[in-house]
Amino acid sequence: CQNSGVWKRIPEGADPLSQMKEYYQYNAMALGDETTQIRWTSPYVDASGLGKMVTAAKPMFTIVGGKSRLIGVAGTDLLWGELLDAEGSTEDKIFDLLYSKNTGAKCFDARPSPCDLQMLREEE
């Protein structure tokens, strides 16, 4: 509490990956109303040789016990060439579209309130 943090003891023999779920909940709480937005990446070159592409991703939530809980992220990769193949598409139009879709996106404050921290501490 003195450091405004949360910690969790991982029992011996427990799977650390499954224990990490609260870390993701901690970060998801800071998203607030941003959770409905699809996030688009800047174009990048795929490491496996598919070429230039973008990714669209959206966090998925459910309600458990009256609280919003992150259950995962849905995403897909789109090849840049396929976007260009769409009728009337140009690189400028695609960049404008991606920029307009991300205009409302902003970095979020990942510091939960004291109340949120207490809720996380009580989840055992």
Contacts of 98 (CB under 8 A, 6+ apart): 40, 42, 54
Prediction pTM value: 0.58
Q: In this structure, is residue 109 part of a structural domain? A: yes
Structural domain containing residue 67: 21-122
Q: In this structure, is residue 10 part of a structural domain? A: no
Q: In this structure, is residue 13 part of a structural domain? A: no
Model confidence at 49, pLDDT cuts 50, 70, 90, reads very high
The pLDDT tens digits for 60-114 are 888 888 877 888 889 999 999 888 888 678 888 888 777 776 655 555 555 667 7
| Residues constituting the chain | 124
Q: In this structure, is residue 55 part of a structural domain? A: yes
Q: What is the pLDDT of residue 106?
A: 52
90: number of Cβ within 10 Å = 9
Q: Check pLDDT > 90 for residue 34.
A: no
The answer to whether 62 and 71 are in contact (CB under 8 A) is: yes
Q: Check pLDDT > 60 for residue 9.
A: yes
84, amino acid identity? L
Report the range of poorest mean pLDDT among 16-25, 42-51, 81-90, 98-107: 98-107
> Could you tell me what percent of the chain has a pLDDT over 70?
69
Q: In this structure, is residue 5 part of a structural domain? A: no
- What is the DSSP code string of 86-119? STT--HHHHHHHHHHHHTT---------HHHHHH
Q: In this structure, is residue 4 part of a structural domain? A: no
